[in-house]
Structure 1
Amino acid sequence: MSVRLATDVLIIGSGAAGLTTALSLPTSMNILVISKGKIGTGSTAWAQGGVAGVLDEVDSVDQHVQDTVNAGAGLCDPAAVRHTIERSSSAIHWLIEQGVPFTRVDGSDVEFHLTREGGHSQRRIIHAADATGLAISETLIKRVRQAPNIQILENHVAIDLITTEKLGLVDQENRCVGAYILDTLTDQAVTIGARFTVLTSGGASKVYLYTSNPDGATGDGIAMAWRAGCRIVNMEFNQFHPTCLFHPKAKSFLISEALRGEGGLLKLPNGERFMQHFDERAELAPRDIVARAIDHEMKRLGVDNLYLDISHKSPDFIKSHFPTIYRRCLEYGFDMTKEPLPVVPAAHYTCGGIRIDAQGATDLAGLFAAGECTYTGLHGANRLASNSLLECIVYAQAAAEHIQVSSATQFDPEKLPLWDESRVGDSDEKIVITHNWDELRRFMWDYVGIVRTDKRLERAKRRVGLLKQEISEYYSNFRVTADLLELRNLVVVAELIIESALSRKESRGLHFTRSHPELSDQAQITVLSPKKA
């Protein structure tokens, strides 16, 4: 039996972008936040480094803009970069006002400690030790739980957006009027009507076999927006974090870039450093350069991992600056105060996504988006470290501000058709989902990973076409489950990544292909439109 609900604002995603949107809207609005699992288990809580912003008098907006543009390899939107960074100080001070316990300089009650990460010319990363995302997540969750106008639905997975076009109302502007949601604890479909819907569902790094992301990073918002008619931009630019802990039980555990910012050195199995041969900035080069260098050396030497060493620093320094990483590594048998850590690259961040404007608006009326599921123009062909949490806050606040002044006729939720399961049954072959999930993520890693070729991409295109057809048939015949919904979204995202990568006949930023190793004279973003698909 289906359930029907109605709200002013439906927010799909409960990370920094989603919770900031909710808290930035007036208390006069009824807000419903959908959390895929238990709230606080998404990517935000996993972020270690911090939030980049202009907070020190020796720094400037111009310097931060220049560092961002340099990392973006010629594809950043200058207006979007400046728009975001000019709001960095106010965004961070908003987080401080919410109560986020950022680390202060020793002995100071006022001054915050700022660290530096790869690609930054100044110390401008405000952080909460080495667990900034967790501190932000816990603080915002606490504030949201105190808000009388905000309701949280945990363990609910979005099925699809509801649009007037899908409802057959072709005599009016196509508009998002809510979404179908699956309660994963009861397997009950929920129909939610909303004046405004906001996608803050995170990235899509689970499309790859090895990733630093939690299990929920399956590109749901990107896939749903695509199916609803929104343009998707720059999906070929997938950031691979250079340093995830290499251990069979250390699932997706990231070794923060701040470790290199504070003097950590990358080494070969014989103890030699190598980054100076790839970039004059050595360990402080942008992530794409470091990830490719590690990938190159691993393949050249035929080894499973390389090493990150900060043991030359004092134990007290390491334990005070990286308490979380230190404790977690000890759990896996590594004492980073005495020995180097084994590391490998892993898919980390989706730089492309749903095209939005400065107000967080998508191509579809009534639909907004913020965070990693979006393309704002800030990241270009590569994201500068710690700009992601900043982008979440700035665009979530912008979307909330725009929603407040937007007019939307309340679509009568009683007119929304309930989710129809009358023509489907329970699957007796769920192995199909497991097999397709594994196959998709493995060929994406092998053929559409850190280093690409046209031949590999064409091979991936053929395979994703077959998988998409098989998954579509399965979706049409059986009751939806969380695993099926995620797989359905992942195959859409995989196809978008492959199409984007095939269309770029050059190597730029995070997209490196041996078939076209040179940089093109013309820097253009990749825009895919579902109307042309």
Structure 2
Amino acid sequence: MKPIIVIGSGVAGLRAAIELLENGCDVLLFAKDELNYCNTDKAQGGIAVVLKEDDSYESHIEDTLKAGAGLCKKEAVELLVKEGPKRIKELISMGINFDKKEDGSLDFTKEAAHSTNRIVHALGDATGHAVEQTLIDNLKKFNSIEIFTHRQLSRFYVEDGRIFGALFLNTKTNEYEVYYADAIVVATGGYAAIYKNTTNPPITTGDGIAAAFMSGAVVEDMEFVQFHPTALKRYNTPQFLISESMRGEGAILLNDKGERFMEKYHRLAELAPRDVVARSIIFEMEKRGIDKVYLDATKMGEDFLKKRFPTIYNECLNYGIDISKEAIPVAPAAHYTMGGIQSFLDASTSIKGLFVAGEAACSGVHGANRLASNSILEGLVFGKIAADSALKFAKNNPTGAVAIQKPDCVECDRAALRNRIEDLKETIWNKLGVIRRIKQMEEILQCSWALFSKHNVDYNCSEGITLRNMALLASIIAFAALKRKGSVGAHYCVDTPHAYDNKQHIPFRISDLEEEL
């Protein structure tokens, strides 16, 4: 049996790799950058899980379904919630130290749209880093794994609907490399970094989704992009995420006049679902003619803020903001993508031998709007499931002898491509952002598809692959958004504000796009 390829080094990819290794499988693990450079490592808030006596599976399921605005797949949500405690207990056995109360019990906190305190967290507001490091430490205990860093996925090799290999660009040498496998697990994350304003690291450009789509895979619900309401808004500084946990702990949103405004938009005010809060901030900014609002956490006190939110406290201090004494300037930014490669309960996809987990997948657990702190849980639960399914498939369906010709590379003008990427990011933000309009979506669909068609070649640089994938993903988002004849969850179109089709999913292949364009 050939090794199984795992692409992505966040929580889903690492958990999948560990499961495969524990079952005696040889694994090739690919990371686009350094092993720990990913969204998981940046995640702040925590992990939602039913571990308290006064909590229940039913409650967590109901909260998730409500946040998903009628588009969650209940079977997937039930699987996520009921498998969650096992995966968290495994993580604890691997060595993670979740924050505890003085009596030694887990310190559960609450986030928006949760009906009870069920969020476990580590290192205050650096849960993702603790999870990432714990999984990496356990991964390195195995000998039957090869780890390839600085490899950007370019394409998959599929024949008769069955995957048998993948093409990567070595971004250190700018040379292409081909790898064969009996099964591949995609855990490359989402596509929020194709937006100008984003909380994601720049590598999060949907490479796995783009490669699968170009190979004929079905994608689903790609219009649902979650915009985090509160990213640091300060000129010439990164858009650092200000965790939703701060609002869960009592921080309030203020406009430029120091007035609390969320109560005008939703009965839950600051604790409304993320899509509601993000839109409300945009509406308030447009009404007031401002480009930011303020998150006020000063009432929590310096000692509490330093202990509970050390990362946020220190990061803001680096930019001259003492959050114990002044409000934080914030604005929405692209944060999480609910759409992705269509997947089923066993993490399989429409391509035989291709499995997917984490943010690259559209498993149905998030619906139209992800419930806070369900993302790391999804990576843990479906990472394991993807590994189990991939191993079973590979044992029963060996690929046999195959040979792949490396592509002829196209020389690239890196500076010109970088400029084009930045222009496209701004266009995507303006036309496919928090608030959308039909005419603008039609415009970006036409121009981004033309851009994809022009750049759908094998450049010998990362910028070329990135521009191609960004243009393709912009086309996919716009296509899906125009198919949805109403607004629901994270997709809000001012021309169709009513959610009368909110029970429908939008699955399609590249052939569907080609037929219409």
Q: Deviations over 1:290-311 (max 9, x none)?
A: 0001011111111121000110
Selected match of 1:411 from 381, 387, 399: 399
Match of 2:283 in 1: 296
Q: Does 1:481 align with 2:461?
A: yes
Q: Which amino acid aligns with 1:347?
A: A
Match of 2:497 in 1: 517
Selected match of 2:486 from 498, 501, 506: 506
Selected match of 2:119 from 116, 125, 139: 125
Q: Which amino acid aligns with 1:302?
A: G
- Does the CA-based 8 Å contact 1:453-1:513 persist in structure 2? yes
Relative to structure 1, is the Cα distance of residues 491 and 181 closer, same or farther in structure 2, using a 3 angstrom cutoff?
same
Q: Deviations over 1:114-143 (max 9, x none)?
A: 110001001011110100000001111111
Relative to structure 1, is the Cα distance of residues 458 and 361 closer, same or farther in structure 2, using a 3 angstrom cutoff?
same
Q: Does 1:381 align with 2:376?
A: no
For 1:260 and 1:514, locate their aligned partners in 2 and report how far apart those are by CA, in whole Å: 27
Helix, strand or coil at the partner of 1:86: helix
- Does the CA-based 8 Å contact 1:7-1:192 persist in structure 2? no
The alpha carbon displacement at 1:495 in A equals: 0.6
Q: Which amino acid aligns with 1:298?
A: M
Q: Does 1:528 align with 2:512?
A: no
For 2:297 and 2:30, locate their aligned partners in 1 and report how far apart those are by CA, in whole Å: 40
Selected match of 1:152 from 141, 147, 150: 147
Q: Does 1:37 align with 2:70?
A: no
Match of 2:334 in 1: 347
Q: Which amino acid aligns with 1:387?
A: N
The alpha carbon displacement at 1:443 in A equals: 1.2
Match of 1:323 in 2: 310
Match of 1:457 in 2: 441
For 1:353 and 1:177, locate their aligned partners in 2 and report how far apart those are by CA, in whole Å: 21
Selected match of 2:453 from 437, 460, 469: 469
Selected match of 1:434 from 418, 428, 433: 418
Match of 1:272 in 2: 259
For 2:275 and 2:331, locate their aligned partners in 1 and report how far apart those are by CA, in whole Å: 13
The alpha carbon displacement at 1:530 in A equals: 2.6
The alpha carbon displacement at 1:522 in A equals: 5.5
For 1:249 and 1:38, locate their aligned partners in 2 and report how far apart those are by CA, in whole Å: 25
Aligned CA-pair RMSD: 1.4
For 2:440 and 2:167, locate their aligned partners in 1 and report how far apart those are by CA, in whole Å: 36
For 1:324 and 1:389, locate their aligned partners in 2 and report how far apart those are by CA, in whole Å: 18
- Does the CA-based 8 Å contact 2:437-2:495 persist in structure 1? yes
Q: Deviations over 1:265-309 (max 9, x none)?
A: 100111110001111111111100000010111111111210001
For 1:470 and 1:443, locate their aligned partners in 2 and report how far apart those are by CA, in whole Å: 18
Helix, strand or coil at the partner of 1:372: helix
Relative to structure 1, is the Cα distance of residues 409 and 523 closer, same or farther in structure 2, using a 3 angstrom cutoff?
closer
For 1:380 and 1:258, locate their aligned partners in 2 and report how far apart those are by CA, in whole Å: 21
For 2:228 and 2:325, locate their aligned partners in 1 and report how far apart those are by CA, in whole Å: 24
1:159-174 → structure 2 map (5 Å cutoff): 159-165=154-160, 174=161
For 1:253 and 1:32, locate their aligned partners in 2 and report how far apart those are by CA, in whole Å: 32
Q: Deviations over 1:448-503 (max 9, x none)?
A: 1111111111121222133223323xx25xx4211111211111111110000011
Q: Which amino acid aligns with 1:112?
A: L
Match of 1:490 in 2: 470
Match of 1:168 in 2: none
For 2:237 and 2:57, locate their aligned partners in 1 and report how far apart those are by CA, in whole Å: 38
Match of 1:332 in 2: 319
- Does the CA-based 8 Å contact 1:64-1:120 persist in structure 2? yes
Please, what TM-score do these two structures have when normalized by structure 1? 0.93
- Does the CA-based 8 Å contact 1:46-1:131 persist in structure 2? yes
The alpha carbon displacement at 1:409 in A equals: 4.1
Helix, strand or coil at the partner of 2:333: strand
- Does the CA-based 8 Å contact 1:195-1:408 persist in structure 2? no
For 1:277 and 1:68, locate their aligned partners in 2 and report how far apart those are by CA, in whole Å: 24
Q: Which amino acid aligns with 1:31?
A: V
For 1:425 and 1:223, locate their aligned partners in 2 and report how far apart those are by CA, in whole Å: 19
The alpha carbon displacement at 1:248 in A equals: 2.6
Q: Deviations over 1:71-91 (max 9, x none)?
A: 011111111111111111111
Helix, strand or coil at the partner of 2:3: strand
Please, what TM-score do these two structures have when normalized by structure 2? 0.96
Helix, strand or coil at the partner of 1:65: helix
For 2:362 and 2:386, locate their aligned partners in 1 and report how far apart those are by CA, in whole Å: 14
Q: Which amino acid aligns with 1:155?
A: H
| Identical-pair percentage | 37
Q: Deviations over 1:24-62 (max 9, x none)?
A: 113521101100001111100010001111111111011
Q: Which amino acid aligns with 2:414?
A: K
The alpha carbon displacement at 1:412 in A equals: 4.5
Helix, strand or coil at the partner of 1:260: helix
Relative to structure 1, is the Cα distance of residues 231 and 281 closer, same or farther in structure 2, using a 3 angstrom cutoff?
same
Q: Does 1:183 align with 2:167?
A: no
| Gaps in structure 1 of 5+ consecutive residues | 1-5, 166-173
Helix, strand or coil at the partner of 2:510: coil
Relative to structure 1, is the Cα distance of residues 404 and 459 closer, same or farther in structure 2, using a 3 angstrom cutoff?
closer
- Does the CA-based 8 Å contact 1:193-1:411 persist in structure 2? no
Q: Deviations over 1:314-356 (max 9, x none)?
A: 2111111001110110000000011100001000000010011
| Gaps in structure 2 of 5+ consecutive residues | none
Selected match of 2:87 from 70, 91, 94: 91
The alpha carbon displacement at 1:106 in A equals: 2.3
Match of 2:50 in 1: 54
Q: Deviations over 1:166-195 (max 9, x none)?
A: xxxxxxxx2111201111111222110111
